[in-house]
Amino acid sequence: MEARSVEAIPRGEEWQYEPKWDGFRCLLSRDGAHVTMQSKAGEDLARYFPEVVAAARELKATRFTLDGELVVPQAKSFSFDALLQRIHPAASRVKKLSAETPALFLAFDLLATAKEKELIAQTLHDRRPVLEAFAKANFAGHPTFRLSPATTRYATAQDWLSHSGGGSDGVIAKRIDLPYQAGNRDGMQKIKRYRSADCVIGGFRYATNKGANGRKLVGSLLLGLYDDDGLLHHVGFTSALKRDEKPALTDKLEPLISPPGFTGNAPGGPSRWSTERSAEWCPLKPKLVIEVCYDHFSGERFRHGTSILRWRPDKAPKQCTFDQLKQKVADPLKLLA
């Protein structure tokens, strides 16, 4: 069951709302002692989360299929960075991390039980009470498994969206009058909260394709923010550049090329985002500021690419600090209580 991205929370009696968790989507099935965990892409997740497999075997029910999200709690939030670290080829590392950063499984749908083998044919209106009863009978005393909250109140969904962050990055809206929509986006929508930040352009990369007359043109801008010690850290990029504006933008950037560009974390440094192209960038004097739109910030980076809202010639580069990204967010663990 996939989600279609929309800009606003839909309203109507046909909708149920849930927090959109920032984790790994997972179908977890148990048949006696056999437990499988499958990602949205069909990959096996069980080998990376042995503690979840062990916890599933301890549940009272011996045959079931749950749809949910894997998350890793840290302090008062869920850490996507810690979750990414769990995907490791070494068995010894997997074992170590399963003890140091154990995952939770947040269940938001029940697709089958030993008694009801084809719940996917039922509407969400009928499946949700079965899931809640299943959670009440099985999850008590097994903290690895939690019931993800749901509501039909639009005001509650708005509150979840406004306080998203720290492990929840928006709201999921599901049609309660439809059966499980496997393989399509007709029954589920996702709504994210977008924010803006002023960033220094600390460098840029040339586009792979050249422009007219074989000239190299800018392909993406590298974004930076200052920390409390005055160091400029690379925090992400934007490649949302209009083609007809690239020649003029290249003319604007090239005279500013000067090392080091970033004085803190820089592109090409050791990180899970590094690629061969990470080192192929041009450092700039910290003179230019742009305001960008983003949806999620974690691990001192924008999780996805950003879009440009406007240039900020009125903004001093030194004003572009991490402080502007601090926000009041809900404690995700309290939503599960």
| Catalytically active residues, by annotation | 20
Quickly count: other Cβ atoms within 10 Å of residue 229's Cβ: 7
- Torsion of the alpha carbons at 198, 202, 205 and 206, rounded to the nearest 10: 90
What phi and psi, each to the nearest 5 degrees, are found at residue 121? -80, -15
DSSP 71-123: E-EETTEE-HHHHHHT--S-HHHHHHHHHHS--EEEEEEEEEESS-TTGGGSB
Q: Are strands 218-226 and 145-147 parallel, antiparallel or unpaired?
A: unpaired
199's torsion region: left (phi>0), alpha (psi -120 to 50) or beta? beta
d(CA 237, CA 268): 13
Q: Which amino acid is at 117?
A: K
Cα distances from 260 to residues 198, 236, 274, 278, 283, in angstroms, run 20, 17, 18, 15, 6
Chain position carrying tokens 């690895």: 144
Burial class (CB in 10 A: 0-12, 13-18, 19+), 119: buried
Quickly count: other Cβ atoms within 10 Å of residue 79's Cβ: 20
